[in-house]
Amino acid sequence: MSEATQAALDSRYTSITVALRQRLIALVTQIFGSQGAYRDEDADSFVEQILPTVLGAQQQMGSLTDAYLSALTADMFGGTAAARGVQIPDAIRGVAPAEVYRRPYVTVWTALSQGKSMSEAVRQGQNRLASITGTDLQLARTEATRQALASDSRVQFYRRVLRGSYNCAMCVLASTQRYRKERLMPIHPGCDCGTRPLPAGQDPGQVIDPDLLEAAHDAVAKGTGQADRGGRLPDYRDIIIDRQHGELGPLLALRRNDFTGPSDIPGR
């Protein structure tokens, strides 16, 4: 097993996928912001224009992740780095993508109904579009990881790998733990964490980076004014938990976060 080879694979995969994410978000938000109007027919035209590119980028993210994990496991365990050929579903949330990518227009309409200026309403719509687009790329990464590792008996556990220039505290704490491959990698909107398999037969225990975990606890204590390594004050279960989101699947979130359901829709 070559640490240098794996570090090179990590670096290359990160640079390519970060660039893919940035290019796609820049493209779709630029197109959205240049719309002359924001009526129903404009939403339909926008979705028709950008959806092939969005879905293509999701497939590309899946292929890149498949190739990365294949090369990584080949270096770790031996054998040939043969990609499995993952397939990313268009409706990656379980909802038609055309419906999902109309939602930024709903954000614009809602902002305008609240008396916001057109420029502010469009800005809010662009922000929602960027979140949707980035999250769907991360869902593609997660699905590719699940497919790539499912049939590899050599991999039993994995760890989360922090990527990008910014990582929230939830992801930092999660990166100190090991997970079984049967569990989909929890995410939150905007998350760009990756996955690294752990060597066959190696179960290092639940905590795999105690130094980082301790540093994260220190940061929580500094931010809340409370310090308790037992996790009682503050109750860490109220800070970092797994939630099940109807579209996104396993989600890292704060306990106080809730998700809109059918009962929240007016008139139902």
Confidence at 236, pLDDT banded by 50, 70, 90: low
Confidence at 61, pLDDT banded by 50, 70, 90: very high
Q: Tell me, what amino acid is at 43?
A: A
CB 86 within 8 A of CB 143: yes
Confidence at 259, pLDDT banded by 50, 70, 90: low
Confidence at 101, pLDDT banded by 50, 70, 90: very high
Q: Tell me, what amino acid is at 131?
A: S
**pLDDT at res. 125:** 97
**pLDDT at res. 217:** 74
Q: pTM for this structure? A: 0.83
Task: List the single range of 5-14, 76-85, 233-242 with lowest mean pLDDT.
Answer: 233-242
pLDDT tens digit string along 108-156?
A: 999 999 999 999 999 999 999 999 999 999 999 999 998 988 878 888 8
Confidence at 177, pLDDT banded by 50, 70, 90: confident
Cis-peptide into 234, omega within 30 deg: yes
Confidence at 267, pLDDT banded by 50, 70, 90: very low
CB 51 within 8 A of CB 59: no
User: What is 183-247 written as a DSSP string?
Assistant: SPPPB-TT---EEEEPPTT----SBS-HHHHHHHHHHHHHHHS---TTSTTTTGGGTSEEEEETT
Q: Is the pLDDT higher at 204 or at 214? A: 214
